[in-house]
Amino acid sequence: MENKVVGSIKDFDEYQGHKIQKLSLTNQNGVTLSLLTLGATIYEINIPSETGVQNIVLNYYHSKDYLANPYYVCMAIGRTAGRIKNGNIILAGQSIQLPQNEGKTNLHGGTNGFNSQIWQGKIIQIAGNDVIEMSHLQEGDGYPGKMRIKILYSLSADDVIEIKFCAISTADTLFNPTQHIYFNLGKNDTVKEHLLKINAKQIQKLDSNKIPLADRVTVADTPFDFRQPTSLDKAIAAMNDTAEKGFDDIFAVEPDKDNLVAVLSDPLSKISVAIESARNGLVVFTANSFTQQNMNFVRTNGIGKRYEGIALEPQTLAPSKGDGLFSAIKLAKGEEKTYTIKYHLNYER
Ligand code: GAL
């Protein structure tokens, strides 16, 4: 069979004395997906346009820029996405203290999460096409068990990016990975002109430290109602009297018949991304707290701008009834678990 998706590996730069590589896949339409081995970070999603290629994700000039601020830009997140109260978990009746990296909270896997690791990057072949494999032995992050983790990144002939997180652990542990991609589908410095649709009737209630509570709140008649494509400009304006002046919220999504949970589109660039995930949660963060400093973005020439991108983070939430989060995201010793996220890219050809 003809090989339609072609991979390559190049040296990118160095981080703390370690060589960082950039791995890329290009399909026959001229779409390119590239990743850095630091943090298994999505570095570029380049889409062909009349004026040359357009990168639709935020990226920085150097590897070190990715760890110079608390925003996890486009990085792999694990073992657990989101916030765990006091960093304390109960597994098999045992209380375990995880690192606290945001006040007392454990956020996005703690201090030594997936994003801070240097992954082993390879190009492998699946069904005649090149695929990026990032692998790593996750240990020393305070979670029980050594976790063998492999993330496969593929790009199809019809412009679907698929991310598969596959893990197995030597002890019972937690596994709730995501990829923290910040999209900006246009040429503007903010995503305000974008439209967002989310298949969610409810959001999760949060406490003052943004820890999810058991209760859910209906989105009807609130700025959280994205059940129809909604202008981010208007939605963000409606959040103006909140402390954050934007969204950093957990949507309880109901995947549709095609497992789509959200669609982000830009009427100006005519680019859209539809997100497919079978899981029940989507965190939406509109980069409300981005600052000019420590955000060496390529797009905005070395500074950060509020609302410069939007992160849409598929993950698992506790079910609304019954068991809590820890049983929903438990990975038993020796069990193999795979989570898949797909991004369908659409653009004018
Ligand atoms: C989100 C989180 C935000 C912020 C962001 C970092 O998941 O809800 O508060 O921490 O990640 O990129």
Neighbours of 78 (CB within 10 A): 29
Shared fold status for 6-57+75-180+334-346 and 182-315: yes
Q: Using one digit for the tens of pLDDT, what is the confidence trace for 124-143?
A: 999 989 999 999 999 999 99
As a whole number, the mean pLDDT across the chain is 96
- How much is the average pLDDT of 169-195? 97
- CATH code for residues 6-57+75-180+334-346: 2.70.98.10
- How much is the average pLDDT of 72-76? 98
Q: Using one digit for the tens of pLDDT, what is the confidence trace for 9-35?
A: 999 999 999 999 999 999 999 999 999
To 5 degrees, how large is the angle CA 18–CA 19–CA 23? 140
- Kindly give the distance from the C-alpha atom of residue 127 to the centroid of ligand 1, in angstroms, as a whole number: 36
The verdict on whether 313 is a catalytic residue reads yes
Atom of ligand 1 nearest to the CA of 313: 7
Global pTM reads 0.97
Q: Determine whether the shortest distance from the Cβ of 285 to ligand 1 is under 6 A.
A: yes
- How much is the average pLDDT of 49-76? 95
Amino acid at 71: Y
Q: Determine whether the shortest distance from the Cβ of 193 to ligand 1 is under 6 A.
A: no
- Domain range 182-315, CATH class: mainly beta
- Kindly give the distance from the C-alpha atom of residue 248 to the centroid of ligand 1, in angstroms, as a whole number: 7
- Asked whether the predicted pLDDT for residue 1 surpasses 50, the reply is no
- Asked whether the predicted pLDDT for residue 323 surpasses 70, the reply is yes
> Where along the chain do its domains lie?
6-57+75-180+334-346, 182-315
The verdict on whether 2 is a catalytic residue reads no
Residue with the smallest CA separation from ligand 1 atom 4 is 71
pLDDT (0 to 100) of residue 349: 82
- Asked whether the predicted pLDDT for residue 262 surpasses 80, the reply is yes
- Kindly give the distance from the C-alpha atom of residue 71 to the centroid of ligand 1, in angstroms, as a whole number: 6
Among 180, 276, 308, 344, the active-site one is 180
- Kindly give the distance from the C-alpha atom of residue 138 to the centroid of ligand 1, in angstroms, as a whole number: 22
Choose one of 209, 285, 294, 306 to mutate for the ligand 1 pocket test, by most ligand atoms within 8 angstroms of C-beta: 285
- Asked whether the predicted pLDDT for residue 78 surpasses 70, the reply is yes
